[in-house]
Structure 1
Amino acid sequence: MTLGTKLAWDDTVLPFQLDRSDIRGRVARLDGVLGGILKQHDYPPQVEALVAEMALLTALIGPTIKLRWKLSLQVQSKGPVRMIATDYFAPASDGEPARIRAYASFDRDRLTDGAPIDQVGEGYFAILIDQGEGMQPYQGITPLTGDSLAACAGTYFAQSEQLPTRFQLSFGRSTEQGGSEHWRAGGIMLQHMPKASPFAKDGGSGEGGLLEAGDIVDGEEGDNWNRANFHLDTVEEMELIGPSLPPTDLLVRLFHEDQPRVFDPQPVRFGCTCSEDRVRQSLSIYSAKDIEKMTTDEGRVTADCQFCGAHYDLDPATVGFEAADEQDR
């Protein structure tokens, strides 16, 4: 695909609500964020696509959490792509951008020529929320199912949260006029607001008896949900990622019957929290004898960040819980 210049809505998440339907949602467009994530690694195209999809899901789901919280998405798989991990760091204060990072672990020799989702085998999809020091992290897990990571995320919300949720995503390599090829993504998330008594008591109609949206909403709510999804199905790829239609106009085009109301947009950026201090802290549980086993032939302790590619090179005498003793000798 060929696009024009960078857009004002790039790397932004726009929350909205459909007032007549008790449905909320978000529109996201990612450009520089994906560049920041993917340029750190030499991923094959199938893996790049999965990481891009996961990053877009993270941008859409992430604003659920409060300021200073952290949300993580994880896919663990027995397939060629063993793991995909993403983090969404909420802004430290209002008006600041959120930060996203992501990486994948895979067996290059096992990758096939099939679709990106074919590289993911049996496993699970998880969402983790870290509320900060002194708080117990929350974790929810569901089996991997469906024909995309977006479908897995929808199943997660139906099964673990009993919230009907739908994602419509588009992502791929684009070329700006006069520029170089790069990744770009856009998507919409719809989610029914929680009901007073949301818990379905029987098994669901999805794969393996998992819950789906239709198992949770019925009657007028079900009609509203089905109508919103019908209109969402009409969205075109270039409406999600192209330069001609702002997200606000897209929402009116899709959901004008349900009176869409938008809220303040949330900017997102690529960002990593790794640092030398964090590396030292992670090594502080090891004795000098343990540190010696980690020391390279050159007499150093090294560590690489899987998210951003930062390399740390440390003196072994300065790390571990016996570091002070080592320095005094």
Structure 2
Amino acid sequence: MTFAEKLAWDDTVLPFQLDKSDIRGRVARLDGVLEGILRQHDYPPQVEALVAEMALLTALIGQAIDLRWKLQLQVQSNGPVRMITTDYYGPTAEGESARIRAYASYDAERLTDGAPFDQVGEGYFAIMLDQGKGTEPYKGITPLAGGSLRACAEAYFAQSEQLPTRFSLSFGRSTEVGGAEHWRAGGVMLQHMPPASPFATDGGSGEGGLLDASDILNNDEGENWNRANILLDTVEELELIGPSVPPTDLLVRLFHEEGPRVFDAQPVRFGCTCSEDRVRQSLSIYSASDIEKMTTDEGRVTADCQFCGAHYDLDPTTLGFEAQSGTGDGK
């Protein structure tokens, strides 16, 4: 695989379908996206790993949705890592990149030496879909379970959407010959097309009574699903993250008997939607006295974006619904 070919597959999500199994999927490779997300923060290693896993899940899930605006994945817990939030913004025009941003909130003093998911306590995994103006946002949640964020996402799709879903993920720091250490991630998502069998209504066989694929699929569907999962189990971590194995070669290696068919790859990049105008809009509901309480000793109102680290330094007299005309010096 040439260097140019490697770059062509970095930060992309490749959709595919297994025609013989009625299963669709995605292959994602993230490189610069993760660097863009993680270099904004000085996260401890356990938190970095959780954010990387969440970003990879977001890329795979976001590309699988007919998205007009924003998909958000969120973890809320009572553990040392209190919250992880990722946003996926679909491309606004054909050929444009989708954008991903992410951040985590955590108590550094409560972090342990355990595995990344050990830093997440009881709580929930949520997927929120906002298709923009004129639509009602959708939110679905499932309990944190299964020992990984990947397992939480699988449980969400089984429970909330009744769609058998499987993720195989690999992520971590990588050093290539002649290059600096940096984050890379790769993964495969499998999802059975909407099953022909009726929706399951009773408790499931998964952890805590959650639904599992076996509770949703009929015999023939279940056989196809199990066969595809057995094939995916043979994947190696280096095949997932690359860069030496193109996603197309990986699909042929794994699923050549299932008739894999690929579609156009979707580029993704790190991108934040914050701006001075958005900060001003968020403060427009406050009175002059409220704005005064937010003003620093230096006579400024400041705001920092948790996603990208952008710093906004504003004249308080130009903020709120009692603002003077103009935008001040906007340092």
- TM-score, normalised to structure 1's length? 0.96
Superposition misfits of 4+ residues, deviation over 4 angstroms? 3-6
Inter-partner Cα distance in structure 1 for 2:267 and 2:234: 26
Checking the alignment, whether the CA contact within 8 Å between 1:166 and 1:191 is kept in structure 2 is: yes
Corresponding residue number in structure 2 for 1:115: 115
Q: Deviations over 1:173-198 (max 9, x none)?
A: 00121221110000000000012454
Corresponding residue number in structure 2 for 1:290: 290
Checking the alignment, whether the CA contact within 8 Å between 2:195 and 2:221 is kept in structure 1 is: no
Q: 1:316 to 1:215 in 2, by over 3 A?
A: same
Measured after TM superposition, the shift of residue 67 of structure 1 is: 4.9
Match runs of 1:172-187 below 5 Å: 172-187=172-187
Inter-partner Cα distance in structure 2 for 1:41 and 1:317: 31
Inter-partner Cα distance in structure 2 for 1:259 and 1:202: 34
Checking the alignment, whether the CA contact within 8 Å between 2:19 and 2:260 is kept in structure 1 is: yes
Q: Deviations over 1:119-178 (max 9, x none)?
A: 000000000011101211011011000111000000000000000000000000001212
Inter-partner Cα distance in structure 2 for 1:154 and 1:238: 23
Letter in 2 for 1:300: R
Inter-partner Cα distance in structure 2 for 1:65 and 1:324: 43
Inter-partner Cα distance in structure 2 for 1:8 and 1:147: 33
* Aligned partner of residue 92 in structure 1, secondary structure: coil
Letter in 2 for 1:279: V
Checking the alignment, whether the CA contact within 8 Å between 2:35 and 2:182 is kept in structure 1 is: yes
Corresponding residue number in structure 2 for 1:193: 193
Letter in 2 for 1:264: D
Checking the alignment, whether the CA contact within 8 Å between 2:6 and 2:244 is kept in structure 1 is: no
Checking the alignment, whether the CA contact within 8 Å between 2:195 and 2:216 is kept in structure 1 is: no
Inter-partner Cα distance in structure 2 for 1:297 and 1:199: 60
Corresponding residue number in structure 2 for 1:225: 225
Q: Is 2:87 aligned against 1:87? A: yes
* Aligned partner of residue 125 in structure 1, secondary structure: strand
Checking the alignment, whether the CA contact within 8 Å between 1:162 and 1:198 is kept in structure 2 is: no
Q: 1:204 to 1:24 in 2, by over 3 A?
A: same
Letter in 2 for 1:166: R
Corresponding residue number in structure 2 for 1:312: 312
Corresponding residue number in structure 1 for 2:205: 205
Corresponding residue number in structure 1 for 2:102: 102
Structure 1, unpaired ranges of 5+: none
Inter-partner Cα distance in structure 2 for 1:239 and 1:281: 46
Inter-partner Cα distance in structure 1 for 2:288 and 2:159: 47
Q: Is 2:11 aligned against 1:11? A: yes
Checking the alignment, whether the CA contact within 8 Å between 1:117 and 1:147 is kept in structure 2 is: yes
Checking the alignment, whether the CA contact within 8 Å between 1:65 and 1:90 is kept in structure 2 is: no
Q: Is 2:207 aligned against 1:169? A: no
Inter-partner Cα distance in structure 2 for 1:294 and 1:326: 19
Q: 1:112 to 1:18 in 2, by over 3 A?
A: same
Measured after TM superposition, the shift of residue 199 of structure 1 is: 1.4
Corresponding residue number in structure 1 for 2:38: 38
Inter-partner Cα distance in structure 2 for 1:144 and 1:296: 40
Inter-partner Cα distance in structure 1 for 2:265 and 2:42: 32
Checking the alignment, whether the CA contact within 8 Å between 2:100 and 2:270 is kept in structure 1 is: yes
Corresponding residue number in structure 2 for 1:140: 140
Checking the alignment, whether the CA contact within 8 Å between 1:231 and 1:254 is kept in structure 2 is: yes
Measured after TM superposition, the shift of residue 101 of structure 1 is: 0.3
Letter in 2 for 1:77: S
Letter in 2 for 1:42: D
Corresponding residue number in structure 2 for 1:259: 259
Q: 1:148 to 1:93 in 2, by over 3 A?
A: same
Measured after TM superposition, the shift of residue 325 of structure 1 is: 7.4
Letter in 2 for 1:191: Q
Checking the alignment, whether the CA contact within 8 Å between 1:17 and 1:24 is kept in structure 2 is: yes
Inter-partner Cα distance in structure 2 for 1:326 and 1:232: 59
- TM-score, normalised to structure 2's length? 0.95
- Greater Cα shift, 19-28 or 5-14: 5-14
Inter-partner Cα distance in structure 1 for 2:272 and 2:141: 25
Inter-partner Cα distance in structure 2 for 1:12 and 1:326: 42
Checking the alignment, whether the CA contact within 8 Å between 2:162 and 2:199 is kept in structure 1 is: yes
Q: Deviations over 1:193-219 (max 9, x none)?
A: 012454101100111111111111121
RMSD over aligned CA atoms reads: 1.6
Letter in 1 for 2:44: P
Inter-partner Cα distance in structure 1 for 2:213 and 2:296: 53
Checking the alignment, whether the CA contact within 8 Å between 2:318 and 2:324 is kept in structure 1 is: yes
Inter-partner Cα distance in structure 2 for 1:5 and 1:259: 24
User: Identity across aligned pairs (percent)?
Assistant: 82
Q: 1:267 to 1:5 in 2, by over 3 A?
A: closer
Q: Deviations over 1:67-88 (max 9, x none)?
A: 5321000000110000000000
Corresponding residue number in structure 2 for 1:279: 279
Inter-partner Cα distance in structure 1 for 2:174 and 2:220: 41
Q: Deviations over 1:51-79 (max 9, x none)?
A: 00000000000013335321000000110
